[in-house]
């Protein structure tokens, strides 16, 4: 087994363990550990670089999001030659949806490498997808496009991208409900209100009404999540009518 020069001599045992963990996840040896360390650095650590710029995973997340979109777009372009722009855009959105990226981050157990002053139990679901995107950004800076594409093919495309299944996958239940209501000329309303109760985190509750009848209720830690959750419940309650 070959390691980058002086990795164990110039870094701590913790860095050596981090290197081995990364190698298992990536399928190849990282060269610059500093990129990957930043990919797991939460803003709560309040670290800065030599120029006083904040150091955390958010800029790498931005870069990784762009790389992921580019590589998935290339795959769809090659695999679905009959797909028009609208179809390809919709399919890409399904693959890189926040829900899907969160699942990928969880499957790889990336959260265990996150450095934060906030207890990991207090993180929202999106931390998993955010760190996954940051990791993709770190791969691009460390090894370039080819290795980035290799990782995404191995961890995203090969195990998860099934064109036929994705065609039937719902991206947003809220959009589906709104579209159906508009086609059927039905009125709809999302009545959102604070519903913290005994929870330590602030919660929102929502009542989804269609033609002035409440068809679903839900609560979550954000208005967007509460509306999506209520829409999903409404979809399953009304799916016979929506076909």
133 close to 65: Cβ distance less than 8 angstroms: yes
In the annotation, is 211 catalytic?
no
Say how far apart CA 46 and CA 134 lie, in whole Å: 17
Asked if 114 and 40 touch (Cβ cutoff 8 Å), the reply is: yes
The C-alpha atoms of residue 28 and residue 87 are separated, in whole angstroms, by: 34
For 165-200, give the DSSP string: HHHT--S-HHHHHHHHHHHTT--EEEEEEE--TT-S
Q: Rounded to 5 degrees, what are φ and ψ at 210? A: -125, 125
The active-site residue, picked from 61, 65, 149, 228, is: 65
Short-list 193, 186, 243, 242, CA closest to 220: 193
The one catalytic residue among 133, 149, 227, 228: 133
Active site residues: 65, 133
């Amino acid at each position: 087994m070959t390691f980058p020069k002086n990795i164990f001599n110039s870094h701590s045992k913790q860095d050596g363990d981090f290197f081995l963990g990364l190698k298992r996840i990536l399928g190849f040896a990282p060269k610059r550990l500093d990129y990957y360390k930043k990919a797991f650095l939460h803003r709560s650590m309040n670290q800065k670089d030599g120029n006083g710029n904040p150091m955390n995973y958010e800029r790498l997340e931005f870069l990784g999001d762009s790389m992921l979109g580019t590589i998935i777009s290339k795959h769809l372009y090659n695999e679905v030659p009959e797909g028009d722009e609208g179809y390809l855009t919709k399919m890409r959105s399904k693959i890189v949806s926040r829900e899907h990226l969160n699942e990928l981050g969880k499957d790889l157990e990336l959260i265990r490498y996150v450095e934060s002053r906030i207890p990991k139990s207090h993180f929202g679901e999106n931390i998993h997808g955010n760190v996954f995107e940051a990791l993709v950004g770190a791969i691009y800076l460390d090894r370039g496009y080819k290795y980035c594409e290799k990782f995404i093919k191995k961890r995203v495309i090969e195990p998860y991208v099934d064109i036929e299944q994705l065609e039937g996958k719902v991206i947003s239940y809220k959009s589906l409900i709104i579209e159906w209501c508009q086609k059927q000329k039905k009125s709809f309303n999302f009545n959102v209100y604070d519903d913290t109760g005994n929870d330590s985190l602030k919660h929102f509750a929502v009542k989804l009404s269609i033609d002035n009848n409440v068809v679903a209720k839900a609560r979550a830690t954000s208005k967007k999540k509460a509306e999506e959750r209520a829409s999903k419940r409404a979809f399953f309650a009304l799916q016979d009518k929506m076909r």
